[in-house]
Amino acid sequence: MKIAIGADHGGLGLKTALLPLLSAAGHEVVDLGTHTSDSVDYPDYAQAVGRAVLGGEVGRGLLICGTGIGMSIAANKIPGLRAALVSEPHSARLAAVHNDAQVLCLGGRVVGVELALSCVSAWLSAEFEGDRHARRLAKLEPR
């Protein structure tokens, strides 16, 4: 799968650790930054990843900041995008199965590399079930 990944300075360490692991798992990863530990604004990276997902350039997106909260809020402000903040694999899988989340958010200061990789793997291997979940998602769209 082609995945866009973005992080702010608080998520840079986890992003850097995940890049080779995702590539080794056979995913094509588009790294949209940040690339330094300088303080940056997380909404910029949420926007970049969100545009890549909604524009069809990638299948899914991964966002990482210190807690994942800021990235989640910023990504969910983008019309048509669904982002889920998770810290364990069960919720990550359900984010795909029940919520059709196109973006997964993680906290670089909250989860370690192995747990993050487990979350990402669970999310990427799951498919949206549709049916009653699609009906619920439709209610989230602007009327």
Q: Is 65 noted as a catalytic residue in this protein? A: yes
Q: Is 98 noted as a catalytic residue in this protein? A: yes
Q: Exposure of 21 by Cβ count < 10 A (0-12 exposed, 13-18 middle, 19+ buried)?
A: middle
Q: 74, 62, 47: which is closest to 105 by C-alpha?
A: 62
- Asked if 6 and 32 touch (Cβ cutoff 8 Å), the reply is yes
Q: Which has more pLDDT, 141 or 143?
A: 141
Going by pLDDT thresholds of 50, 70 and 90, the confidence category of residue 108 is very high
Domains and CATH numbers, the chain: 2-138 (3.40.1400.10)
Please tell me the predicted confidence (pLDDT) of residue 1. Answer: 93
- Both tokens of 123, joined, read 């999310």
Name the residue with tokens 């949206």.
128
Please tell me the predicted confidence (pLDDT) of residue 143. Answer: 62
Q: 129, 141, 24: which is closest to 81 by C-alpha?
A: 141
pLDDT tens, residue by residue, 63-105: 999 999 999 999 999 999 999 999 999 999 999 999 999 999 9
Please tell me the predicted confidence (pLDDT) of residue 129. Answer: 78
pLDDT tens, residue by residue, 13-58: 999 999 999 999 999 999 999 999 999 999 999 999 999 999 999 9
3-state secondary structure (DSSP) of residue 3: strand
- Element (DSSP H or E) covering residue 63: strand 60-65
Catalytic residue among 27, 90, 98, 133: 98
- Both tokens of 77, joined, read 């402000």
Catalytic residue among 27, 35, 65, 105: 65
| pTM confidence score | 0.95
